[in-house]
Structure 1
């Protein structure tokens, strides 16, 4: 077994979330099918492990539903066990449970939305975070997460960034607080890379990025974060920390309240051009 393959097998973030009942069931079923097919061809776990390039312990973990198999693992198993594509086809189901349930649900909505508007009050929004910044954020939380939990959450947050690669591209708007941009989570290099990433994203043709300055005398977003998503069929969903108990809403009358607040916040923030210039200025300060 090569060091490269061993590293892939031992990579954190591929553990099964015990609180995700559907995810547990899917991974348990995939593991059971892998074991049944291996035994059907008369191959011992040790021999199979060598054939696919993974440790025997990893094979037992996957077959026992304790570990999420990587796509490469399923493809190798399909070839070794001559499954004719049946094992490789499991990749689609496995991909659906790769990330925590809450993140999956949010990512699904983001993937369907044609418009996304977000005001972020305390931190840089997850869609805008670099992996290094996200890791620093999760590592700073209390009580602390385990390294495996951090890796899993960073991978999930990074995967949500695929919204920027969609075609046709959705219309995206963000309002970020100045304080969050000034906080050097993870150290100066991580902070600089995060600001550089914001500049890159903010220059995309379908993205409007604005900064809410600290010296703004009137601020309609002090009650917290706002998120609005609109879909092709004309429906929408919204959520705000300071309205409707923080729960997702779809009622048109309630949505109008959030839309009014978000629109006012955007009007109070720096313009997109001023915001990019402000971020460039922050980068030049250090």
Structure 2
């Protein structure tokens, strides 16, 4: 079976299908939500200032949501549905609007991630988004070239923080991370951001369903030279492997390929520092930062 390319048309790649650029939000659903919000507000004979006052938002924010220029957060959608007596019309769009916060290539993967019962992740360049602090995530997005505009950066940061609800989900998913030592020693965002990120790694590592391992620099044998990847298991016991590079992503579902990557991840875990030694490694870095 051929791998599935996420965020693209089934007939070909995003470029072949004429899809929107990967940094463009899901304008269709966002615009549809905005039109519906305006219709409901108008039907309720409510000015933007009044609706904003009830919900704790400025009139300019309401205008941005109605015009599809900004993506409303889930809390706003819930409260607007209630304030306008929409009867669930706005709530029905909440999941699709939330997915629009992600770049096109990651939207389907984000949905799988949110529903997974197991995630096993190998990272080589930055701390995984599930473990990032808000400041670290913002620093990562600010480094993008060509630069992202400020609204897009804030949308991406909010979406990344929203992904971390997985840590509070019940039943608890099983999560493991193998992180290259170069990732945790790279001071992205500066000293204070780095300290905060290292502290967050130590906090997440205390969760009973989370294991974090560091791959040290001095390993002569290394099972992950082909690059980062994520293993996903769903509630239906489907096992998949997700690979992302630059602005493209692929989801592998055929058993042979997924099994090979599962074996690769097992080797990586055996070669990396054990969880307790990994925490000691991170604690030492924190003391030196």
Q: What is the TM-score with the length of structure 1 in the denominator?
A: 0.80
Aligned to 1:130: 133
Aligned with 1:118 (options 118, 121, 137): 121
Aligned to 1:227: 230
Q: 1:215 to 1:72 in 2, by over 3 A?
A: same
Superposition CA RMSD, Å: 2.8
**Is 1:154 aligned to 2:161, yes or no?**
no
Aligned to 1:285: 288
Aligned to 1:196: 199
- State the alpha-carbon separation in 2 of the partners of residues 53 and 273 from structure 1: 45
Contact kept? 1:117, 1:174, Cα under 8 Å? yes
Q: 1:84 to 1:151 in 2, by over 3 A?
A: closer
Greater relative contact order (CA < 8 Å, ≥ 6 in sequence): 2
Q: 1:196 to 1:89 in 2, by over 3 A?
A: same
Question: Gapped runs of 5+ residues in structure 2?
Answer: 1-21
- State the alpha-carbon separation in 2 of the partners of residues 222 and 37 from structure 1: 54
Aligned to 1:84: 85
Contact kept? 1:176, 1:210, Cα under 8 Å? yes
- State the alpha-carbon separation in 1 of the partners of residues 234 and 142 from structure 2: 34
Aligned to 1:68: 71
- State the alpha-carbon separation in 2 of the partners of residues 178 and 52 from structure 1: 45
- Once the two structures are superposed, what CA deviation does each residue of 1:35-72 show, in whole Å capped at 9, x if it has no partner? 33444455566776677675555444433333434544
- State the alpha-carbon separation in 1 of the partners of residues 56 and 271 from structure 2: 57
- State the alpha-carbon separation in 1 of the partners of residues 270 and 175 from structure 2: 16
Q: What SS class does the counterpart of residue 97 from structure 1 fall into?
A: helix
- State the alpha-carbon separation in 2 of the partners of residues 210 and 168 from structure 1: 23
Q: What SS class does the counterpart of residue 177 from structure 2 fall into?
A: strand
Contact kept? 1:117, 1:227, Cα under 8 Å? yes
Question: Gapped runs of 5+ residues in structure 1?
Answer: 1-16
Count of residues paired in the alignment: 262
- State the alpha-carbon separation in 1 of the partners of residues 147 and 155 from structure 2: 14
Aligned to 1:238: 241
- Once the two structures are superposed, what CA deviation does each residue of 1:167-208 show, in whole Å capped at 9, x if it has no partner? 111111100010111111111111011011101111211111
Contact kept? 1:226, 1:238, Cα under 8 Å? yes
Larger Rg belongs to: 1
- Once the two structures are superposed, what CA deviation does each residue of 1:141-166 show, in whole Å capped at 9, x if it has no partner? 22111111111111111111111111
Q: What SS class does the counterpart of residue 248 from structure 1 fall into?
A: strand
Contact kept? 1:211, 1:275, Cα under 8 Å? yes
**Is 1:247 aligned to 2:250, yes or no?**
yes
- State the alpha-carbon separation in 2 of the partners of residues 130 and 94 from structure 1: 24
